[in-house]
Amino acid sequence: MSGRQKGHTTIIKRSARRTHTGGHGGAWKVAFADFMLALMSLFMVMWIMGQVSEKDRKAIMYTLNNQSIFDSHSFSPISFSAHDPAPANAPEVTPSAVGNASVSPQPTASTVTDSVKQADADQRHLQQALQSLMIGKQAQSNMRIERLAQGIRVVVNDDQHRMMFERGSAKVTTYFQQLLASLVPALKQSGSHLMIIGHTDATPYQQNPFYDNWSLSVNRAQSARQVLIRAGIESDKIIQISGVADQKLLDPQQPTNAINRRIEFIILSAAGLSAWEKSFAMPATHAIPTSSAHE
């Protein structure tokens, strides 16, 4: 008996405890919490949209699509690009769309829209009046009228039969004196300000080494200004005259073409005038030195 116990070997069997994997972990709880949060956010958005009218929703979407929340300035309805001004049909935002918080009085979207529409209507009316004048004077070959971002441009140019100025001088011919004078009633009625720009062709000016196409283009712009003033326009309505010689030819392929000899009138809109004034504004960081009485 004792001999058997001495030769007996005890075997102990140990089994590894298996753990459950998969769905019994904690990851599903995080995923479920994320799902519930997203679902709650969706219901909140749907509830808020249900409290706002369709008109207000369009107004909010218009605002979000046309300005950044990081901009410190408000969206301007006027653009100075070469294209037409920015859309003037911004929806009106009612107080229900922005809550009942008290804010300082500012122009509403409808007020800005109305002013833009009125300015655009005034510009269209002036353009139509000028076009009617051009047709009445049978000056289609000598006048072109077009809309710009800053206003209306009226181009008065020579053709093969009629010259605006005597060759090589700034003296306006009789026909063009009458044509320029006929512009004044429409300009006075609009109350607009304007700029006058003189152009020449590329024919070199050889009579005087100190008088060239630059001088001639400026003098021709000045002569056009004098014709308008004698016809009754207020002198302070003409805010700038300049000349660019032959630098901006309408027909570069034929530099001496009569169409290159012209005067351009830029009739500024209110926005165009504001932009022009800002271009001459004193830089904010520039200090104006005070003059001394002993200087």
pLDDT at 291: 56
What is the widest separation between alpha-carbon atoms in the chain?
Answer: 150
Considering 45-49, 66-70, 268-272, the range whose residues carry the highest mean pLDDT is: 268-272
> For strand 262-268 and strand 143-148, is the pairing parallel, antiparallel, or unpaired?
unpaired
Question: What are the residue ranges spanned by the domains of the chain?
Answer: 116-279
d(C-alpha 134, C-alpha 151), whole Å: 18
pLDDT at 117: 78
pLDDT at 111: 64
DSSP class of residue 199? E
All residues at 6 or more sequence positions from 79 whose CB lies less than 8 Å from its CB, including other chains: 85, 86, 149
pLDDT at residue 24 tops 70? no
d(C-alpha 218, C-alpha 227), whole Å: 15
pLDDT at residue 123 tops 50? yes
H-assigned helices in 94-212 = 95-98, 109-136, 174-181, 184-190
Mean pLDDT computed over 54-69: 58
Tell me which residue of 215, 135, 150, 247 sits closest to 182, measured CA to CA: 135
In the chain, % of residues over pLDDT 90: 45
d(C-alpha 53, C-alpha 283), whole Å: 45
Class of domain 116-279: alpha beta
Query: 265 in helix, strand or coil?
Result: strand
Mean pLDDT computed over 257-278: 94
Mean pLDDT computed over 208-224: 92
- Please, are residues 63 and 131 in contact by the beta-carbon 8 Å criterion? no
- Torsion sign over Cα 226, 230, 232, 235: positive
